[in-house]
Each structure stands twice: as structure tokens, then as C-alpha cells.
Amino acid sequence: MTALTFLLGMVTFHTLAPVPPALRPDPMARGYMGITVSNGTLTVERVEPGLPADAAGLRRGDILVRVGTLQPETFDQVIAHITSFRPGAVVEIEVQRGTTRKVCKVKLACRPPELDIQNRVPVPIEIDN
């Protein structure tokens, strides 16, 4: 419940209204930055437009060197580390870009629901008649 205050002239009214579920923070939400990597490597293959990695300046071809305090060997380690943070956390990502290293500060977000739908694999079911 959230207290709402209404001012009408000189009279103040207080009332309680439930917070709509869509506005409540998701206690299970995990950090997400919006990149995919080349199979079996730490080389960025795609940066999702408009998502945190894009806003922080990561690019296709960047090689992930450090993610927060982690020096990853696999992308699974990167995913586990990033998802240990909540949306809104800022994580430093160090990348190798050509011959130089660059540090980007990525403000993590929630994984967009439309990406979850796109990545679902249909499972065949059998119906007995």
C-alpha cells in the first residue's frame, strides 16, 4: 500500500491505494547487459541496441577481459557474475578493442520480456484421444 495525499484548497485528504503489480520491483530480477558472444569465446558478437551494453559503449568485436572483479574464462562465468547483481547496479567491464583496452561502466537492467519469449523452444506434447 502507498499513501496518497490530495490537496484541495486548504483541506488535505489522505488515502491508501495498492501499488499496481507492474510498478512493484521484482524481487527475483537479475542484472542484464544485452550482449551475445561468438560461440565458445569472450568476443562480443552482438550488442542489443538500446540496452545497457550499448549505452555503455561496448561494440561488436570487443573481447571481455574483466567483468567487475571477475577475469572470466567462459561466457557462462560472465552470465553468472552479471546475474548476481540487481538491475540498476553499475559494473565495470574491461574489454580489449584492437590493440587497446577500454573500461566501460554498464548500468545493468532487467532482461526484456520479449527476449525471453524469443528464446523459448517449443516443446512438443502428446495428447491422448
Q: Please state the three-class secondary structure of 65-84 as a single string.
A: EEECCECCCCHHHHHHHHCC
93 assigned to some structural domain: yes
- Tens of pLDDT, residue by residue over 1-30, are 444 444 555 555 555 666 555 555 566 778
121 assigned to some structural domain: no
Average pLDDT over residues 41-45: 95
Stated pTM of the model: 0.68
pLDDT in the model for residue 33: 94
101 assigned to some structural domain: yes
- Tens of pLDDT, residue by residue over 86-115, are 999 999 999 999 999 999 999 999 988 776
- Give the domain CATH number at 93: 2.30.42.10
CA dihedral 26, 30, 31, 33 (to 10 degrees): -100
128 assigned to some structural domain: no
28 assigned to some structural domain: no
Domain limits at 57? Answer: 35-110
Q: What are phi and psi of 73, to 5 degrees?
A: -110, -20
Our count of domains for the chain comes to 1
For residues 84 and 122, which has the higher predicted lDDT (pLDDT)? Answer: 84
